Amino acid sequence: MKTPLPHLGFGTFRLEGQTAFDAVTMALNAGYRHLDTAQIYGNEQAVGDAIKASGIARAELFLTTKVWTDNLNHDAFIPSVEASLAKLGTDYVDLLLVHWPLNNHDVAMADYLSSLKKAQDMGLARHIGVSNFTVAQTEQAVSILGKGALLTNQFEVHPYLQNHKVVAKCKELGLIVTGYMPFAYGAVLKDPVIQAIAEKHGATAAQVVLAWMRQLGYVTIPSSTRQANIESNLKADSLELDATDLTDIAALDRGHRVANPDFAPEWD
């Protein structure tokens, strides 16, 4: 299925200031055209500066940002998106996400999803989606906006946390799965099964994980500050895992969650 969302993007979580600028610059030079940032990362300005300095036409890029929980109320939502666009140096993002669902009832989901849709209707975002939504929350979101309104649900996916229930619900409802933390902060890359598959194919452990996600139909957004890794990750596109490899990786699932802040929803 052809989608507007490139299957491999460059993530910028935990990258700030000059580090973010340099990493995004290396990623763009290497050939990445899908960049992922967020209001809470504090690096939208650096990402925007790197895009501007690259000279790459805006139309060639797929740019994602995410609205933070403090900005989900009606009065703050649209102004926060406009502030993000100003920092990014663009009139629109290709994808705008609600970064986390609210566990309290300060703002109803119907209200902040209405603001998300309004941002799209205003031309501030080409596509909209959600992030870190559970099965029930994904169902609720689709019931509010209608099937086909949301492009993706972005949540943690890697061989140690395969999130089958949320993945299945996304597929059922027509949402693309975007998996973040694909390497689980490097833990997965040290796994002997992953390393053995990498050796078998003459690939890196990271390339094996990225190929696995691509072959399952997921989008993913690895991050790195090292040029060699940034360039190497792009080469995962040429790696094809066989059925045995996929079966072996499927067996690695162990519920190992990396991103679990105190405001996280009750995970499936």
Domain ranges of the chain: 10-250
Cα–Cα dist 219/242, whole Å: 19
Q: Annotated binding residue at 99?
A: yes
The one-character DSSP state at 204 is -
Whether 2 shows a pLDDT value over 70: the answer reads no
Q: What separation in angstroms does the CA of 165 have from each of 34, 134, 136, 138? A: 27, 9, 10, 11
Whether 150 shows a pLDDT value over 50: the answer reads yes
- What is the CATH number assigned to the segment(s) 10-250? 3.20.20.100
Task: Give the HSE-up count for residue 249: Cα atoms under 13 Å, Cβ half-sphere.
Answer: 30
Whose CA is closest to 222, among 256, 184, 264, 194?
184
Annotated catalytic sites, by residue? 41
Assess contact for 174 and 145: CB atoms under 8 A. Answer: no
pTM of the model: 0.97
Give the model confidence (pLDDT) of 172-223 as tens digits.
999 999 999 999 999 999 999 999 999 999 999 999 999 999 999 999 999 9
- Please give the pLDDT value at position 1: 39
Q: How confident is the model at residue 105 (pLDDT cuts 50, 70, 90)?
A: confident
Region 46-70 average pLDDT: 98
Whether 3 shows a pLDDT value over 80: the answer reads no
